[in-house]
């Protein structure tokens, strides 16, 4: 039995006129995603705030006086096949810690009232998610029996996303790091994130979602496992989770943690050098120097390079451990040569980040 229905988003974002993959920040009124009167071609959008789409579902044609109710549920599978089943979820979920969803776990709502899908987000194991959404329903009579013999599929649609304005992303990064430790490293964070998720085809940056092309509005991915605005690639040894793939702020929070780790690795290396040359004051004090036209501390240059990887960098053996690091220390260098020397990695990554730093401008 085909019934008229509506799936609507109450906080549908307005794309920027300069770049349609970016949320301008102005929210429209309710937009139909799919069903009767739909205007958005079956795609609901995570906003650039970021905020999940505020979604409702309703079967039309029944007034508030109807005694019928509807058992509602939905299932989400990832549009990005690279994610496998990692982002698959069901809503609603059972109450209680670790509650799961699935067939039989439903919201029962009077048929004349919209099902507030976003009301279930709080209970979801992942506060942000996206992909292919299937809505299931089954209409229940007042006596508890069902009209249909089994659960029915109402419709399918997609949840994708828009990017934040460049200024919004940059402000979040700067504000989030203000007053924190290692400011000499994080002063380059905006440039680093710009470099990570820039789309050279469209000259856009801060892309949590693709800014154009056939995969527009889908999570930004670069193999083997890089996701989102900071292209998280198994940060701290664990693949980016669903929230980090669909929420640019959570993605950046993990980026900070991963940079903290690289800072610790760099500091550990430097401490080994210092211990190996306890009377050499240069060994105790890696320099701030100029690299690629930018004044940068040794710690920053090292940690930023390590975020990309030390491949192509030289090895230093201390105490039986091989350190592969962009910095090397020579206690007795040739005349005119510094003791600390920086060597670029395979990707010349620091150079690219500092190019972004030097030329960083807003794109809207």
Partner 1 sequence: MKTILCFLIMASMVGQVFASNDPVVDFLAGPRPDVRLPGYYPSDKVLRLDLDLQGNGQIETLLTLNRDRDGKEGNRWVVYKKTDSGYQVVGNMTFSPSRFYLGQIDELGRYGLVTFWPGGGGKGIFLAYIYDGTSIQEQDVAKVTGQVDPATGDRLQSKAEKKYLYDKVTKGDDVLKEIDAKELAAKYGLKIESKTYKQAMQDGFQGATSQ
Residues that bind partner 1 (CB under 8 A): 82, 84, 195-202, 212-214, 222-226, 231, 233-234, 236-239, 257, 260-262, 264-265, 268-269, 306-311, 317, 320-325, 346-349, 352-353
Q: What is the smallest separation between the CB atom of 167 and partner 1, expressed in angstroms?
A: 20
Is the N-terminal amide bond of 131 cis, ω within 30° of 0? no
Q: How far is CA 162 from CA 19, 51, 203, 228, 307, in A?
A: 10, 10, 16, 12, 26
Distance CA 230, CA 212 (A): 18
Nearer Cβ to partner 1 (200/336) = 200
**Alpha helices per DSSP H over the chain:** 166-177, 183-186, 189-197, 242-246, 248-276, 281-284, 298-308, 349-359
Residue with tokens 């500092």: 354
Q: What is the smallest separation between the CB atom of 212 and partner 1, expressed in angstroms?
A: 7
Distance CA 62, CA 114 (A): 11
Q: What is the smallest separation between the CB atom of 298 and partner 1, expressed in angstroms?
A: 16
Two structure tokens written together for 59: 């079967």
Q: What is the smallest separation between the CB atom of 303 and partner 1, expressed in angstroms?
A: 10
Q: What is the smallest separation between the CB atom of 346 and partner 1, expressed in angstroms?
A: 6
Q: What is the smallest separation between the CB atom of 214 and partner 1, expressed in angstroms?
A: 7
Q: Are 5 and 35 in contact (CB under 8 A)?
A: yes
Nearer Cβ to partner 1 (213/338) = 213
Two structure tokens written together for 219: 């999570």
């Amino acid at each position: 039995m085909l019934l008229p229905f509506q799936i609507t988003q109450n906080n549908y974002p307005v794309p920027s006129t300069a770049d349609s993959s970016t949320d301008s920040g102005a929210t429209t009124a309710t937009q139909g995603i799919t069903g009767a009167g739909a205007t958005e071609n079956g795609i609901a959008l995570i906003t650039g705030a970021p905020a999940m789409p505020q979604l409702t579902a309703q079967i039309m044609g029944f007034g508030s006086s109807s005694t019928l109710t509807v058992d509602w549920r939905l299932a989400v599978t990832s549009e990005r096949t690279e994610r496998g089943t990692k982002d698959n979820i069901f809503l609603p979920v059972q109450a209680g810690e670790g509650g799961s969803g699935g067939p039989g776990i439903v919201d029962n709502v009077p048929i004349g009232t919209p099902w507030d899908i976003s009301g279930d987000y709080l209970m979801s194991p992942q506060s942000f998610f996206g992909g292919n959404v299937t809505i299931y329903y089954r209409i229940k009579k007042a006596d508890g029996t069902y009209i249909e013999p089994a659960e029915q599929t109402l419709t399918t649609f997609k949840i994708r996303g828009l990017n934040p304005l460049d200024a919004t992303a940059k402000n979040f990064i700067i504000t989030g790091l203000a007053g924190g430790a290692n400011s000499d490293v994080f002063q380059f964070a905006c440039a680093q994130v710009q470099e990570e998720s820039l789309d050279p085809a469209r000259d856009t940056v801060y892309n949590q979602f693709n800014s154009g092309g056939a995969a527009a509005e889908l999570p930004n991915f670069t193999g083997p496992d890089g996701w989102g605005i900071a292209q998280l690639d198994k940060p701290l040894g664990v693949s980016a989770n669903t929230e980090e793939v669909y929420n640019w702020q959570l993605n950046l929070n993990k980026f900070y943690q991963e940079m903290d780790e690289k800072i610790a690795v760099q500091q550990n290396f430097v401490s080994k050098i210092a211990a190996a040359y306890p009377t050499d004051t240069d060994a105790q004090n890696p320099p701030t120097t100029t690299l690629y036209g930018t004044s940068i501390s040794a710690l920053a240059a090292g940690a930023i390079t390590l975020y990309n990887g030390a491949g192509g960098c030289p090895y230093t053996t201390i105490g039986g451990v091989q350190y592969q690091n962009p910095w090397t220390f020579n206690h007795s260098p040739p005349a005119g040569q510094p003791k600390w020397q920086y060597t670029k990695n395979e990707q010349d990554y620091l150079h690219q980040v500092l190019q972004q730093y030097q030329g960083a401008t807003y794109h809207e």
